[in-house]
Structure 1
Amino acid sequence: MTTSTVPSPVLTRRDRCDRCRAAAHVRAMLRTGGELLFCAHHAREYAPRLLQIGAALSS
């Protein structure tokens, strides 16, 4: 998975995947200013489309 460097707070145990509520491992910063958190499984699933729309991914 290709990621871009994004200055963002470090993910903690309290951060949860927006799809399944598992522990979050990846933060997707959207160009519109929003953010999504994903577990490793969902990050791999959605990374190609997120990168295509210009989101920056960080772990």
Structure 2
Amino acid sequence: MNTLLSPAIDTVGELTERCDRCGSAAKLEVVLASGGDLAFCGHHANRHKADITRVASRIRLEEGFEWAGR
């Protein structure tokens, strides 16, 4: 459930980026509140869910990806 302080979360059909941690296909992209963006595979998105929600202004999830931070 989103609160007033939660980042906006959108679902998109497909992401074309690669994970910035390991190079696998991205399942989640983060627009950082401080500027810039990052992409994560499913493993790293779930592993870093608390940090992602803390620094994100917007999150894009690939359709079908069940993110633990949602």
How large is the Cα RMSD of the aligned pairs?
Answer: 2.3
Q: What are the equivalent positions in structure 2 for 1:1-59 lying under 5 Å apart?
A: 4-5=8-9, 11-12=15-16, 15-53=17-55, 55=56, 56-59=58-61
SS at match of 1:5: strand
What is the CA–CA distance in structure 1 between the aligned matches of 2:9 and 2:44, rounded to whole Å? 19
What is the CA–CA distance in structure 2 between the aligned matches of 1:58 and 1:16, rounded to whole Å? 14
5+ residue gaps, structure 1, are none
What is the CA–CA distance in structure 1 between the aligned matches of 2:21 and 2:31, rounded to whole Å? 16
Q: TM-score, normalised by structure 1?
A: 0.71
Q: TM-score, normalised by structure 2?
A: 0.62
Percent of aligned pairs with the same amino acid: 36
SS at match of 2:43: helix
Residue 35 of structure 1 deviates from its aligned partner by 0.2
5+ residue gaps, structure 2, are 62-70
